[in-house]
């Protein structure tokens, strides 16, 4: 969305620093953080989400490699239906958390 209006305000240094830290924790600009806060939008911060996402990607790559080896006939195909369902459920939950933020 195009930002057309400038808005300036004064606040105490402690308030400014507190807002700055919160915006930084949310990985947002101060403008985005203040706008979202003022409009009542949810700001969700989940510590360690980057690590969990990276781990899920690694698990997904491993599943793809197993699938490829099965399709090539190099290994006997294990039943991974429950693993795939669990992986999908965890991925969907993390995606929902990121989408809410």
Same domain, 75 and 38: no
Mean pLDDT over 40-67 rounds to 82
Range of the domain at 32: 10-43
Q: Check whether residue 53 and residue 95 sit in a common domain.
A: yes
Please say whether the beta carbons of 84 and 63 come within 8 A: yes
Residue 12: per-residue pLDDT: 96
Residue 1 lies in a domain: no
Write down the pTM of the prediction: 0.52
Beta-sheet strands, E only, within 5-94: none
Whether 56 and 39 share a structural domain: no
Q: What share of the chain is helix, strand, coil (3-state, %, to 5)?
A: 65, 0, 35
Structure tokens at 30: 């101060």
Tell me what percent of the residues of the chain surpass a pLDDT of 70.
96
Total of domains in the chain? 2
Q: Kindly tell me the sign of the dihedral angle through the C-alpha atoms of 2, 41, 20, 45.
A: negative
């Amino acid at each position: 969305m195009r930002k057309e209006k400038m808005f300036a305000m004064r606040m105490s240094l402690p308030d400014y620093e507190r807002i700055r830290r919160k915006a930084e924790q949310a990985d947002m600009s101060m403008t985005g953080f203040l706008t979202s806060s003022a409009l009542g939008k949810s700001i969700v911060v989940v510590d360690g989400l980057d690590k969990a996402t990276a781990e899920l990607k690694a698990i997904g790559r491993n599943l793809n490699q197993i699938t490829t080896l099965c399709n090539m006939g190099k290994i006997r195909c294990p039943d991974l239906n429950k693993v795939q369902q669990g992986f999908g459920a965890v991925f969907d939950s993390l995606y929902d958390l990121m989408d809410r933020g």
